[in-house]
């Protein structure tokens, strides 16, 4: 593919209500939109969705914009010399990685646009491309779950109502955000909202707990009949998650910790958790997703695809991943 020119936009989506997790709250969702053109009428769209403040990752919207505009896009467009040619999106990924440490969200915005450009040129979709690369034909449809933040009013009754509304909307799984002091009773309130439904219930701490300092809270969650407990400890606590996974009966799910295929290999070496949340933008794009997927397949890890949440532009990449067979 030849990438002849690129466009960069900033998108702001106001939220109907604040989205609150253990690390912070947002009232609007801002992200960067990357559009790559091949000069033959085809365009590929990608999204870079870090937050304004670094409470989820080290990156911010401002740092991603600076790197994308000043470094990443000039590398693949060629500085106005008629564009650059690449054999595949994987080659674009390699160009974006050279001399760049981290900055996953910035790279993912450009890298996923390259995958979408290949899909547009071939008249197919991202799921089909991933299935082709991995030898894993995608499903035609997937079940979708909802992630519910901590209510702004901190009322359990509000959480119960939010869960009930989510099930009425047709979601097939419920995940609630938890934090120290907002866990055991929150799970009970969520159960009340589910009204006896057999659908899975999970919790996500976004790294808010410490082990063994919050052992009581984590033991309470372990006794709650959850499908898994997502990212209970801080992102850098890889060994801690391995130890916690052995101490609890409920599976531990890795999210922020799982930044790359290199980390995935360490999880395997340590015989760590086997439930992984694959967020395309958190790991740097779909090329890295493919590498992590192959490791998960060999290890027997079960996957699911999460969002930041980004807009529908970025979510198309997550939906493509979710259609893969290992995403259970």
- pLDDT tens readout for residues 192-226: 999 999 999 999 999 999 999 999 999 999 999 99
Respond yes or no: is residue 259 known to be catalytic. no
Mean pLDDT of all residues belonging to the chain: 95
> pLDDT, tens digit, for every residue of 137-164?
999 999 999 999 999 999 999 999 999 9
Respond yes or no: is residue 175 known to be catalytic. no
**Least confident segment among 78-87, 158-167, 232-241:** 78-87
Span 22-51, average pLDDT: 94
81 pLDDT band (50/70/90 cuts)? Answer: low
309 pLDDT band (50/70/90 cuts)? Answer: confident
Return all residues near 124 (Cβ < 8 A) that are at least 6 apart. Answer: none
Question: How do beta strands 174-177 and 275-278 pair?
Answer: unpaired
Active-site choice (42, 177, 214, 259): 177
Taking the C-alpha atoms of residue 177 and residue 23, their distance in angstroms, rounded to an integer, is: 10
Nearest to 206 by CA among 296, 306, 292, 293: 306
Taking the C-alpha atoms of residue 324 and residue 269, their distance in angstroms, rounded to an integer, is: 24
Polymer length in residues for the chain: 328
Q: Helix and strand tally (H, E) in the chain? A: 12, 12
Q: Is the peptide bond before 309 cis (omega within 30 degrees of 0)?
A: yes
Active-site choice (37, 214, 279, 282): 279
Whether residue 218 contacts residue 246, with contact meaning beta carbons closer than 8 Å, is answered with: no
Span 51-74, average pLDDT: 95
Nearest to 263 by CA among 109, 255, 56, 50: 255
pLDDT reported for residue 315: 96
Which residues face 26 on adjacent strands? 19
pLDDT reported for residue 17: 86
């Amino acid at each position: 593919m030849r990438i002849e020119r690129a466009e960069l936009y900033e998108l702001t989506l106001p939220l109907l209500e604040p989205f609150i997790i253990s690390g912070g709250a947002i009232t609007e969702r801002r992200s960067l939109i990357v559009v790559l053109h091949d000069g033959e009428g085809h365009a590929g769209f990608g999204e870079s969705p870090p937050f304004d403040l670094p409470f989820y990752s080290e990156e911010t919207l401002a740092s991603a914009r600076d790197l994308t505009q000043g470094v990443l896009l000039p590398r693949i467009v060629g500085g106005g010399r008629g564009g650059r040619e690449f054999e595949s999106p994987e080659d674009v990924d390699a160009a974006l990685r050279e001399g760049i440490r981290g900055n996953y969200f910035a790279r993912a915005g450009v890298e996923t646009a390259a995958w979408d450009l290949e899909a547009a040129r071939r008249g197919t979709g991202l799921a089909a491309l991933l299935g082709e690369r991995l030898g894993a034909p995608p499903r035609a449809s997937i079940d979708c779950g909802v992630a519910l933040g901590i209510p702004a009013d901190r009322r359990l009754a509000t959480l119960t109502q939010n869960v009930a509304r989510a099930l009425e909307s047709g979601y097939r799984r419920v995940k609630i955000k938890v934090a120290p002091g907002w866990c055991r009773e929150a799970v009970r309130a969520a159960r009340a909202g589910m009204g006896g439904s057999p659908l899975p219930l999970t919790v996500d701490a976004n790294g808010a707990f410490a082990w063994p300092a919050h052992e009581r809270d984590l033991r309470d969650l372990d006794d709650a009949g959850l499908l898994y407990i997502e990212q209970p400890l801080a992102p850098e606590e890889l060994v801690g998650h391995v130890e916690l996974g052995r101490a609890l009966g409920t599976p531990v799910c890795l999210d922020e910790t799982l930044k790359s295929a290199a980390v995935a290999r360490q999880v395997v070496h340590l015989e760590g958790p086997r439930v992984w949340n694959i967020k395309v933008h958190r790991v740097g794009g779909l090329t890295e997703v493919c590498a992590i997927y192959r490791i998960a397949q060999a290890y027997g890890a079960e996957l699911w695809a999460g969002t930041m949440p980004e807009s529908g532009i970025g979510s198309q990449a997550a939906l493509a991943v979710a259609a893969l067979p290992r995403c259970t």
